[in-house]
Structure 1
Amino acid sequence: MSERPTDNDERPTEKRETPTLLPVATPARTRAAVAELVRPQRRLALGALTVMVASTAVGLLVQPLLGRIVDLAADRGSAAADAITTTALLLVAVAVAQGVSTGFGLSLISRLGETTLARLRERFVERALGLPLERVEKAGAGDLTARVTADVSLIADAVRSALPEFARSLLTIVLTFGALAVLDWRFLLAALVAVPIQVVTARWYVARAVPLYARQRVAGSAQQQQLLDTVGGGSTVRSFRLEREHTERVTERSGSLVALMMQGVRLVLGFYSRLHVAEYLGLAAILATGCWMVDAGLASIGTATAAALYFHSLFAPVNAALVLLDDAQSATAGLARLVGVTDLPPAQAPARPAATGEVDVIVRGVGHSYRPGHPVLSGVDLTVRAGERVALVGASGAGKTTLARLVAGIQQPAEGTVLVGGVPPAELGAAGAGRTIALLTQETHVFAGPLADDLRLARADATDDELRSALQQVDALDWAEALPEGLRTVVGDGGHRLDGAQTQALALARLVLADPPLVILDEATAEAGSAGARALEKAVARAVDGRTALIVAHRLSQAATADRIVVMDTGRIVETGTHDELKAARGPYAALWDAWSDTRSPGAS
């Protein structure tokens, strides 16, 4: 009677519903959210803008100084040679001043961007952690995972590279057009020949890039979700011979993403080709205007040279600004997905206070399904008395995990009522439910850091003696103190690796520290071997002593020690009683016990 629960534990052969993805913010709301994040840093933003304007203005002195050198060289006098030297020194001074001011300005912009990004991350994590697990599961773990990894990484790259470069390029463009007007308004008109093509190109690109990148993000989430389902549920996939179906799904999702990526490549190539046409038309217009003005005596050769250099210097910033639209559109799509989560309403405050003493569990007429017409639970009635330890047993797909999740408040029943201490779990709120109910599964996470800090996640003010007492209660103190630095040993990623039994013992010690009145264990000893499982079963018994406990039993030996056993089959309770009573009744439980006992052998799990 060995089974591994997965998200599909109750419905392994059914097709999934289409995920209800988490919301994506509109462009207007995304802009408003950015403004809200930047508003507290108005002074920093103004300072960065001022420094960058000054730096760009200083840099624009290079072209007229070079034009001056051209005019002086044309005079060929001795005085001209001295003037050229002086002008060259001015060019050096301009280069130094621009370099220093640009570095300072870019550092201010980077600081502004990083601070804003940090605030966005904090808001996103806060809201994501407050989402009901049912909402996250409906969207699929891949959706939230893609937002917190790929989207955040994309935005971070944009903030660190694209944002400073875009700001610098935009200022250069605006001030360079102003400098052309100062030289002569006719040079400005000639330069503007390229603008209509650039504007049309930008509009053409944005109109196609925004929806394309949004579809790419969604396709990436779908691919990631499918990979998580296929790899994470590998045992179930193999058990039901679904390898070919899941491989086809992965191929289909990956093919859709590749097609969208290639569409993006073609879009970018068309974008570049249009930009090149604009550049050469504009430069031709400037050169023709300069030749005409010099020939007509309206401008010197140096002035015409400065105008041509000004326009040529626009190639890099204009192209950079327009090319950065590629990064900007991709980052904007990711930003909209983050803002969509941060705009979700916060969890409601608990309508009723959390239970502080012993609690009972009452389940009345509960029915539940993951898709219409395919019930997982039907007419379930169950009462767990305060302080009672009840084990749920049954074949895979019987409905045990679903019932446990409904009692834990992770999901709401489609029919009937679930009461914990007389209160529906949903009405306790996230904080109240956390103080009242503890759910332990086989998937326990070890957070990176000292073991003591990991334990204090359950109770931040716990003393070292209380940590040791909790470990002692679950028979984990000996191995914990035997670690290289005892409770100060760094565990988790990059630290000391704990085995499956130790990880579950750590979860049980957290449970003791949290001290909730109701404990729900869903296959909590499934990852351990036989010897480790027996030790964990004893630790579980001590950890839940004095609490109301609902245990989804992985091993019937664990169920046999419960105060009462509830046998489930196809979503219904078919038998209930003590181990001895059910064995004597020779019903479904006795058949399960006999089959389980026959498969037992030394070292078997």
Structure 2
Amino acid sequence: MSGALPIAGRAEVRRAVLGEVRADKTLFAGMMLLAVLAAAAGLVGPWLLGGIVDAVQRAAGPGGGPGGTGGGPADVVAEVDRLALLIVAFTVVQAVLLRYAAYAGAKFGERTAARIRERFLDRTLALPPAVAERVPAGDLVARGTTDIATVATTLPGVVPDTAIALVQMAVVVVAIVALDPVLGALGLACLAGFGLATRWYLGRARPAYLAARAANSALADVLVTSAEGARTVDALALAGRRTEAVEAAVAETRRTSLATLRLRTVLFSAVEAAYVLPLSGILVAGAVLHERGSVSLGTVVAATMYIRQLVGPADVLLWSVELLQNASAAFARVEGLTSVPPAKRPEPADRPGGGARPDGAGPGGGAGPGGSPAEPSGDRIVVDQAFFAYDFGTDVLRGVDLVIRPGERLAVVGPSGAGKSTLGRLLAGIDPPRSGTVTVGGVPVAGLAPDRLRRQVLLVTQEQHVFQDSLRANLSLAAPAATDAQLHAALEAVGADWAARLPGGLDTGLGGPGHRVDGAQAQQISLARVILADPHTLVLDEATALLDPTAARAAERALAAVLHGRTVIAIAHRLHTAHDADRIAVMDHGRITELGTHDALVAAGGGYARLWHAWHGDSARGS
């Protein structure tokens, strides 16, 4: 897989949202029930106000004077007072119910945001290494920071407010129709403008917001890669090109942001106009109907108040619809990780040459003949006619055949681009072959479960990461159940004497405000992890190449302790690494062209001999 990660479609986003509702359905149902009760309580006030108007009108009589038939002044005042008190009481009840509905909604949102964050982290960590390495750095960073933050900040406030507003609007609309069907139908017809404007906006918002999010990711990628490659940029005088790339990314981000702004401008203007029509329609129609005696004045007042009650929830929806579109685009990017295809897991080889024999079982070996079929039956590694290409390009490996015996030290050498590091990745189970097999104990290496793979084979490269956490946490990544004594023993084995002098011991923080580790110390932490993981096989891809000579010598001494008793496959970019290996595999153009001991290959006078003489000069011809 290459390029940016996929984006979830509308159906996938809907399923994910429904899944979150089901995950906390009791709390969500409580929020909706409180919203319905609050909306119902809000209907009482306008209805009672209409009753007050009718009571006063009846008291005034047909002519509006004091000779009406609605009771004496004292009775009217008493009824108005009673209705006014009820209005106050139901207003208080509505406020209390809305408060608890909002609280339930915020609680639901926070829980949901936490689940989304945790799920995103799990999915990110579960990405096949081959996928994670090909994703633009800015894309994954943007999804894990700005996109997650957008979703997390929208859920606790906007989602509950939107749900409550929708409930309120639905209840008010039903109340208007029930109060007087004619006035209700007219009010709903006038509200159609709000619906049309919103529909127009929603039809254009998703692609616009996704484009804006993609532009932000591209900008983040340009900034991250420029910062990470600052030395290269400076050395090759590429500052001008990188500046142009950043400016182009900024321009695209600005363009896409303005596109979403234009959509919001049209929506807000259309909805503001739509607000005036229902109120005007109710007042005009109500006056005509009241004049004809079809409705009472109180009914017209109540209907008008109900229409006014729609403005508040409509305002909430108007503001929320923009935030929700933004959050929906972010959520689609976050959920896009579910569309990443799992790593290809080849079936175990059943051919006699597949190495399905229990010979050579050693430390960290498989379950043996009586174990599960998915467990290696030994530690013998067999590469059989392996072909591999990156992203469906030209094959980098072309029919590689190789058998590595348990406990053997094999060096893989060859010119740059010969396929050495790619072979190392296949041996470590990071990538499966396009065709052919790479097995350990008869089981495809890439098909092993992650924890089993870690015990079987590990790839150690030049790049090692120390997390901004305690030393204990950094080491326990390889062995979560390791004791303090085991952690200290691993550090001691790789010569990390500095760890004993840390002020907080194993609990000392590394990075940031804590202890700053240099390259040699980071390498020692990495090698200590290898000891704790205790794999049977190590694939070394120039693990000390980035260190200065002094640090490299110290790391190589530490590495000697790590290598003891294990199968070692060294991707040797420098030939002195190959000299002491049990065997040397020479690669050229994706194939193994020579295989044998150092002395035998030098004596054969082939490609390895030429490389060796070129490396050491004519004085090495007698070696």
Tell me the TM-score range normalised by the shorter chain: 0.7 to 0.9
| Distance across 2 between alignment mates of 1:209 and 1:141 | 26
Corresponding residue for 1:315?
Answer: 311
SS of residue paired to 2:554:
helix
Q: TM-score, normalised by structure 1?
A: 0.82
| Distance across 1 between alignment mates of 2:396 and 2:26 | 58
Counting only pairs closer than 5 Å after superposition, residues 441-452 of structure 1 correspond to structure 2 as 441-452=461-472
| Distance across 2 between alignment mates of 1:148 and 1:438 | 27
Deviations 1:289-333 (A, max 9, x none): 233344445555554333323222312311322442222233333
Which segment drifts farther, 34-43 or 159-168? 34-43
Once the 2 structures are TM-superposed, how far is the Cα of residue 159 of structure 1 from its aligned partner?
Answer: 1.0
SS of residue paired to 2:502:
coil
Contact 2:35/2:168, CA 8 A, preserved across alignment: no
Once the 2 structures are TM-superposed, how far is the Cα of residue 521 of structure 1 from its aligned partner?
Answer: 2.5
Answer yes or no: is 1:184 the counterpart of 2:167.
no
Contact 1:176/1:314, CA 8 A, preserved across alignment: yes
Q: TM-score, normalised by structure 2?
A: 0.80
SS of residue paired to 1:466:
helix
SS of residue paired to 1:587:
helix
Match of 1:30 among 6, 10, 13: 13
Residue type at the aligned position of 1:497: R
Match of 1:437 among 437, 447, 457: 457
* Structure (1 or 2) with the larger CA radius of gyration: 2
Deviations 1:333-374 (A, max 9, x none): 3333444433656666985544486x3444455554436675
Corresponding residue for 2:614?
Answer: 591
Corresponding residue for 2:43?
Answer: 60
SS of residue paired to 1:60:
helix
Once the 2 structures are TM-superposed, how far is the Cα of residue 502 of structure 1 from its aligned partner?
Answer: 1.8
Contact 1:350/1:432, CA 8 A, preserved across alignment: no
Once the 2 structures are TM-superposed, how far is the Cα of residue 448 of structure 1 from its aligned partner?
Answer: 4.2
Contact 2:2/2:391, CA 8 A, preserved across alignment: no
Match of 1:209 among 205, 212, 216: 205
Once the 2 structures are TM-superposed, how far is the Cα of residue 166 of structure 1 from its aligned partner?
Answer: 0.3
Deviations 1:365-406 (A, max 9, x none): 555443667554456555544223344456654543222212
Percent identity reads 40
Corresponding residue for 1:603?
Answer: none
SS of residue paired to 1:445:
coil
Gaps of 5+ in 1: 1-17, 598-605
Q: 1:284 to 1:373 in 2, by over 3 A?
A: closer
| Distance across 2 between alignment mates of 1:113 and 1:373 | 45
Corresponding residue for 2:370?
Answer: none
Q: 1:460 to 1:363 in 2, by over 3 A?
A: same
Paired residues in the alignment total: 577
Q: CA RMSD in A?
A: 3.7
Residue type at the aligned position of 2:109: G
Once the 2 structures are TM-superposed, how far is the Cα of residue 206 of structure 1 from its aligned partner?
Answer: 1.4
Q: 1:419 to 1:474 in 2, by over 3 A?
A: same
Answer yes or no: is 1:541 the counterpart of 2:560.
yes
SS of residue paired to 2:430:
coil
Gaps of 5+ in 2: 61-65, 67-72, 349-372
Answer yes or no: is 1:428 the counterpart of 2:448.
yes
Residue type at the aligned position of 1:178: V
SS of residue paired to 2:448:
helix
| Distance across 1 between alignment mates of 2:376 and 2:231 | 39
Once the 2 structures are TM-superposed, how far is the Cα of residue 456 of structure 1 from its aligned partner?
Answer: 2.0
Residue type at the aligned position of 1:61: V
Contact 2:137/2:225, CA 8 A, preserved across alignment: no
Corresponding residue for 1:467?
Answer: 487
Once the 2 structures are TM-superposed, how far is the Cα of residue 453 of structure 1 from its aligned partner?
Answer: 3.0
| Distance across 2 between alignment mates of 1:441 and 1:53 | 60
Once the 2 structures are TM-superposed, how far is the Cα of residue 490 of structure 1 from its aligned partner?
Answer: 3.0
| Distance across 2 between alignment mates of 1:415 and 1:179 | 68
Match of 2:128 among 132, 157, 173: 132
Deviations 1:385-434 (A, max 9, x none): 42233444566545432222122122233465434445432232434322
Q: 1:549 to 1:460 in 2, by over 3 A?
A: same
Q: 1:424 to 1:237 in 2, by over 3 A?
A: farther
Contact 1:471/1:509, CA 8 A, preserved across alignment: yes
Which segment drifts farther, 367-376 or 205-214? 367-376
| Distance across 2 between alignment mates of 1:484 and 1:376 | 49
| Distance across 1 between alignment mates of 2:291 and 2:574 | 98
Contact 1:72/1:81, CA 8 A, preserved across alignment: no
Answer yes or no: is 1:106 the counterpart of 2:102.
yes
Contact 2:540/2:571, CA 8 A, preserved across alignment: yes
Once the 2 structures are TM-superposed, how far is the Cα of residue 543 of structure 1 from its aligned partner?
Answer: 0.8
Once the 2 structures are TM-superposed, how far is the Cα of residue 58 of structure 1 from its aligned partner?
Answer: 1.4
Residue type at the aligned position of 2:538: V
